[in-house]
């Protein structure tokens, strides 16, 4: 018993050390954001309680209106998530379970799109969406390039390929059409894929600042990442504590992604693929 406990302890030690190393930047970011007077040294990681306030957050809020910018990010990211889930599930199911001419070519194009950096497409997208469609200073113009995500399509396809084909054949024998098979058989069994694709898709648009900045110059429409980038480049240096103000903005931007991961990380490894097959 003592030997097993000792072995378990030695296994936990490197895990604990790794966790501390990984979490320290987040801790340092939060502490720096709460410091009223700048202390960027390592000793600043253990600040005096009297130096911890929410002043930096109020300074940032007074410059860029955090609530408004957060709402813009929620609208932008939420719309992208919905579109990605809908189109990703449909395309992934078709590439995995349906037989049609050109299916291999279509999947090859999906893989090809993943190796093309989005930055290379910005100029033609800008010309098409802003000048061609006239969607400058419009939420639709910001959202449209992100409505289909090739990574999400690939994730859904791989999950749908893991599902036993007998489930789909049984549903079709019972008279279910493809839409009903997708809705009642396939989607409930790939919830881990839905969560994984949602988190992967969330991080991209939530942190994106270049494309929304190109589409709109109106501060009242810009997502949080754009507002913070403008603040850091032009205003932060004039704050009483530029170090703390920048970290306060970083905390606000990072908090939603961290919270979502903490809430849903246990679902990433869960699966119900075996629940539909006897034995």
The DSSP string of 160-219 is HHHS-HHHHHHHHHTT--HHHHIIIIIHHHTHHHHHHHHHHHHHHHHH--HHHHHH---G
| Percentage of the residues of the chain whose pLDDT score is greater than 70 | 89
| 35 inside domain | no
Instruction: Identify the top-confidence range among 51-55, 151-155, 175-179.
Output: 151-155
pLDDT in tens, 209-222: 888 988 988 888 88
Q: Which two tokens stand for residue 218?
A: 């109106």
pLDDT in tens, 1-32: 555 677 777 778 888 888 888 888 888 888 88
| 249 inside domain | yes
| 43 inside domain | no
| 25 inside domain | no
| 215 inside domain | yes
Residue 273: what pLDDT? 43
Q: Quote the CA–CA distance of 192 and 222 in Å, as a whole number.
A: 32
Q: Quote the CA–CA distance of 225 and 159 in Å, as a whole number.
A: 32
What is the domain extent for residue 126? 55-272
| 207 inside domain | yes
Task: Give yes or no for residue 158 having a pLDDT over 60.
Answer: yes
| 59 inside domain | yes
Query: What are the C-alpha distances in Å from 32 to residues 234, 237, 244?
Result: 20, 16, 5
User: Among 183, 231, 179, which residue's Cα sits nearest to residue 69?
Assistant: 231
Q: How many domains, in total, are found in the chain?
A: 1
CATH number of the CATH domain containing 157 = 1.10.3720.10
| 263 inside domain | yes
């Amino acid at each position: 018993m003592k030997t097993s406990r000792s072995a378990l302890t030695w296994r936990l030690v490197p895990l604990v050390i790794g966790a501390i190393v990984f979490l320290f930047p987040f801790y340092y970011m939060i502490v720096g954001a709460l410091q009223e007077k700048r202390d960027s040294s390592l000793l600043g990681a253990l600040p005096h309680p009297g130096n911890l306030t929410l002043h930096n957050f109020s300074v940032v809020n007074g410059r860029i209106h955090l609530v408004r910018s957060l709402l813009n990010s929620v609208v932008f990211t939420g719309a992208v998530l919905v579109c990605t889930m809908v189109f990703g599930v449909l395309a992934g199911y078709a590439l995995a379970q349906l037989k049609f001419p050109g299916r291999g070519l279509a999947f090859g194009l999906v893989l090809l799109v993943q190796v093309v950096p989005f930055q290379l497409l910005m100029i033609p997208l800008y010309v098409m969406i802003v000048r061609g469609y006239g969607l400058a200073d419009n939420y639709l113009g910001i959202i449209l390039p992100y409505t289909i995500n090739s990574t999400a399509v690939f994730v859904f396809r791989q999950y749908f390929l893991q599902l036993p084909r007998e489930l789909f054949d049984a549903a079709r024998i019972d008279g279910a059409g493809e839409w009903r098979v997708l809705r009642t058989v396939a989607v409930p069994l790939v919830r881990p894929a839905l969560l994984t694709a949602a988190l992967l898709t969330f991080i991209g648009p939530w942190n994106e600042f270049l494309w929304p900045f190109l589409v709109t110059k109106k501060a009242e429409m810009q997502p949080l990442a754009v507002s913070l980038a403008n603040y850091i480049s032009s205003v932060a240096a004039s704050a009483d504590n530029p170090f703390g103000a920048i970290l306060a903005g970083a905390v606000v931007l990072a908090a939603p992604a961290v919270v979502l991961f903490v809430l849903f990380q246990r679902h990433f490894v869960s699966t119900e693929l075996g629940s539909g097959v006897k034995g």
